[in-house]
Amino acid sequence: MTKGLSVKKDENFSKWYSEVLEKAEITDLRYNVKGFVVIRPWGAMILEEMYKLYEQALQKRGHKPSFFPTVIPKKNFEKEAEHVKGFTPEVFWLKKVKGEDELALRPTSETAMYQMYSLWIRSWRDLPFKLYQRANVFRYETKATRPLIRAREFYWIEAHDCFATKEEAEEQVQEDIRTTEEVMHQKFGIPFLPMKRPIWDKFAGAEYTIGSDVIMPDGKLLQQPSTHLLGQHFSKAFNVKFKNKEGKEEYVWQTCYGPAISRILASVISQHGDNFGLILPFIISPIQVIIVPIFTKQNKEKIIKEVKKIKDELIDKGIKAEIDLREEKRPGEKYYEWELKGVPFRIELGEKEIENKEATLFIRDTRKKEKISLKEIGKIKKLGEEYDKRLLKKADDFMKDRIIECKTLKEIEEALKEKKIAKVEFCSTEKEGISCAEVIEKEIGAEIRGTLGNKKEIPKGNCIVCGKKAKEVVYIGRSY
């Protein structure tokens, strides 16, 4: 492993991020296809922990797992005109095989899944119908790619749901926001703004879109889980109908929800990391406690016997623990490596600690050491809960400090220079607001990200651009 980060996070976030990915062994960029990266074992194990928590939350809310093919026939795309228009530039098309339909690698799975929904849904008794799948999706990204943040392949979960009424579908959209709050915010420690996108920025084929915007350390916004009210656009295109209680056929109302787990990992790395590398939340760290024995040839057997006891006790208490027994590395090198990888706790144990019936405990987020009695080693589980609460509070404080109310275009410019997000009063996020949004984009180089999707904020004044009476409170920022 290459030693040392060469930059500080607050001085050059971009380079810091790249170095952490490489030196903490999250990804390897040397795969020779642009926009496609290798996820190394440490990164893959973190992703698995994140997937586990997200899937538990979805299943708790009635979603069932499924797997659909990676390829989608071209004719499926063409069934929903707005959707195909929105996604065609981003689609990877496979070389046509003689006698076969032209196929695409899925950019998202509406057009793959809904043809099957039309076969499976028959009656009101089949509703609500809620499926999700883990999937790799592929998009021909033409902008500069950035590992985990903006790529041509990413790892996500997509949930696709059907309901008898629009009201039920809209409640599902709100449930999706609550799922993001429960998992991404409360468990991963990533606060977000649930933004109802302007009409000109909604998902192709949706009635409206709510994207979860996360503020990165450089002040840019990264869209995390988005949820879409699809209405009946796809159900009519794919003939997804049900017979109601009176025996009359109706089209279902649909929603979809897409947490990109690999992109959320980018936010976890960026939000919590420091100048020494990763800081992983206790709940998603593949190793929660790394045990480093300190021994000589004379006491090696005795020390190793004791650390194995500690490991077994931690595992019995549901704590993920490992022992670093590599003899080619000195203890100090091991300390550095596991700090770089973000392991929450490190136990150091040598002859002196055994004599005193205690261990030295290093805590990654505070970088403090304390003594812990060997009899109380199990309290690390409680310390882990406290650890995650500290990360969450620090992240929430960061978010609060990054949102500033602005009254003029000049104030918006200043806010963005200070790596903040502008909160302003605006005429409309419907079609009549497009010209004002274009002013923001051309003069400031920023975007109207939308209005809060889980509560209504009432404007009291006029639009910051045109001066007409404001209908909405919007948030403005620059994005990846």
**What are 386-423's pLDDT values in tens digits?**
999 999 999 999 999 999 999 999 999 999 999 999 99
pLDDT: is 448 or 90 the higher one? Answer: 448
DSSP 440-474: HHHHHS-EEEEEESSSPPPP-SB-TTT-SBP-EEE
- Examine the domain organization and report whether 296 and 264 are in the same domain: no
- Examine the domain organization and report whether 176 and 75 are in the same domain: yes
Which residues lie across from 104 on neighbouring strands? 72, 93
- Examine the domain organization and report whether 128 and 165 are in the same domain: yes
177 lies in a domain? yes
448 to 78, 140, 327, 415, 445: CA distances (angstroms): 30, 24, 56, 14, 10
Task: Answer yes or no: is pLDDT of 1 > 90.
Answer: no
- Examine the domain organization and report whether 420 and 286 are in the same domain: no
How many separate domains does the chain show? 3
pLDDT value for 3: 64
65, 178, 68: which is closest to 130 by C-alpha?
A: 65
Whole-angstrom Cα distance, residue 362 to residue 375? 17
Among 387, 422, 438, identify where a domain stops: 387
Whole-angstrom Cα distance, residue 169 to residue 207? 11
Count Cα neighbours of 192 within 13 Å in the Cβ-side half-sphere.
33
Structure tokens at 205: 């084929």
Query: For strand 289-293 and strand 249-251, is the pairing parallel, antiparallel, or unpaired?
Result: unpaired
pLDDT-above-90 percentage for the chain: 89
7 lies in a domain? no
pLDDT-above-70 percentage for the chain: 99
Whole-angstrom Cα distance, residue 478 to residue 480? 7
412, 195, 457, 405: which is closest to 471 by C-alpha?
A: 457
Task: Answer yes or no: is pLDDT of 297 > 90.
Answer: no
Task: Answer yes or no: is pLDDT of 68 > 90.
Answer: yes
Confirm if 104 and 65 have CB atoms less than 8 A apart.
Answer: no
- Examine the domain organization and report whether 212 and 307 are in the same domain: no
The residue type at 415: A
Range(s) of the domain holding residue 340: 282-387
Confirm if 102 and 70 have CB atoms less than 8 A apart.
Answer: no
The residue type at 222: L
440, 433, 448: which is closest to 410 by C-alpha?
A: 440
Question: What CATH number did the domain enclosing 132 receive?
Answer: 3.30.930.10
What is the average pLDDT across 428-438? Answer: 97
Count Cα neighbours of 428 within 13 Å in the Cβ-side half-sphere.
9
- Examine the domain organization and report whether 182 and 293 are in the same domain: no
395 lies in a domain? no
Q: Residue 299's pLDDT band (boundaries 50, 70, 90)?
A: very high
What is the average pLDDT across 139-160? Answer: 90
Among 361, 387, 413, identify where a domain stops: 387
4 lies in a domain? no
Q: Residue 101's pLDDT band (boundaries 50, 70, 90)?
A: confident
**How much is the mean pLDDT over the chain?**
95
SS3 category, 285: coil
- Examine the domain organization and report whether 267 and 378 are in the same domain: no
Query: For strand 38-39 and strand 64-65, is the pairing parallel, antiparallel, or unpaired?
Result: unpaired
pLDDT value for 2: 46
- Examine the domain organization and report whether 21 and 130 are in the same domain: yes
273 to 16, 137, 397: CA distances (angstroms): 10, 27, 15
Question: What CATH number did the domain enclosing 471 receive?
Answer: 3.30.110.30
Tell me how far apart the 2 most distant CA atoms of the chain are, in Å.
84
Length, in residues, of the chain: 480
SS3 category, 326: coil
Q: pLDDT, tens digit, for every residue of 254-264? A: 999 999 999 99
Confirm if 126 and 118 have CB atoms less than 8 A apart.
Answer: no
198, 179, 176, 197: which is closest to 188 by C-alpha?
A: 179
Among 343, 359, 387, identify where a domain stops: 387
DSSP 61-118: TT-EE----SEEEHHHHTTSHHHHHHHGGGPEEPPPPTTS--EEE-SSSHHHHHHHHH
108, 98, 122: which is closest to 76 by C-alpha?
A: 108
Which residues lie across from 450 on neighbouring strands? 475
The residue type at 352: K
- Examine the domain organization and report whether 202 and 302 are in the same domain: no
Structure tokens at 152: 């041509």
What is the average pLDDT across 45-56? Answer: 98
Task: Answer yes or no: is pLDDT of 358 > 50.
Answer: yes
Which residue, chain included where needed, has tokens 């695409």? 104
pLDDT value for 321: 98
DSSP code, position 175: H
Task: Answer yes or no: is pLDDT of 86 > 90.
Answer: no
